[in-house]
Structure 1
């Protein structure tokens, strides 16, 4: 994931895409499974979805976030 002020107004996105992490998290919150997310965003992998969950967990825990 990357945070770049020039891409999507500085919102966290998946590297090489304009898909924002919050979009995946919202789909998970709505009850979508990994397969649903991968159909909606074919350029993502299961690893991307797991990274979004890890990002959210660290954010909530107050841990520092490392940019990749």
Structure 2
């Protein structure tokens, strides 16, 4: 199990290896989808009471860090 920023967990046996929040069965992708669909932080925290406000912050930071990678498009 790998931890990123002490809040993002990557475990091949949890949620098919997708990044999750603190080893919970809540993926970073799920939180980002709610956030960018217009749900407020408060709504997300209400839907997922096991989360902390910092968890949402680290999801956004994680997404930004992914953009630091170099990508190659193949035909």
TM over 0.5: yes
User: Alpha carbons of 1:3 and 1:16: their partners in 2 closer, same or farther (altered >3 Å)?
Assistant: closer
* Aligned residue number for residue 62 of structure 1: 69
* Aligned residue number for residue 66 of structure 1: none
* Aligned residue number for residue 3 of structure 2: none
Q: 1:27-66 to 2 correspondence within 5 Å?
A: 27-62=34-69
Is 1:7 aligned to residue 14 of structure 2?
Answer: yes
Name the structure where strand makes up a greater proportion of residues. Answer: 2
Runs of 4+ in 1 over 2 A off after TM superposition: none
Q: How far does residue 15 in structure 1 lie from its aligned partner after superposition? A: 1.2
Q: How many residues align?
A: 63
Q: Which has the higher contact order (CA 8 A, sep 6+)?
A: 1
Query: Can you give the 5+ residue segments of structure 1 that lack an aligned partner in the other structure?
Result: 64-68
TM-score when scaled to structure 1?
Answer: 0.87
Distance 2:40 2:59 in 1: 14
Distance 1:49 1:61 in 2: 19
Name the structure where helix makes up a greater proportion of residues. Answer: 1
TM-score when scaled to structure 2?
Answer: 0.79
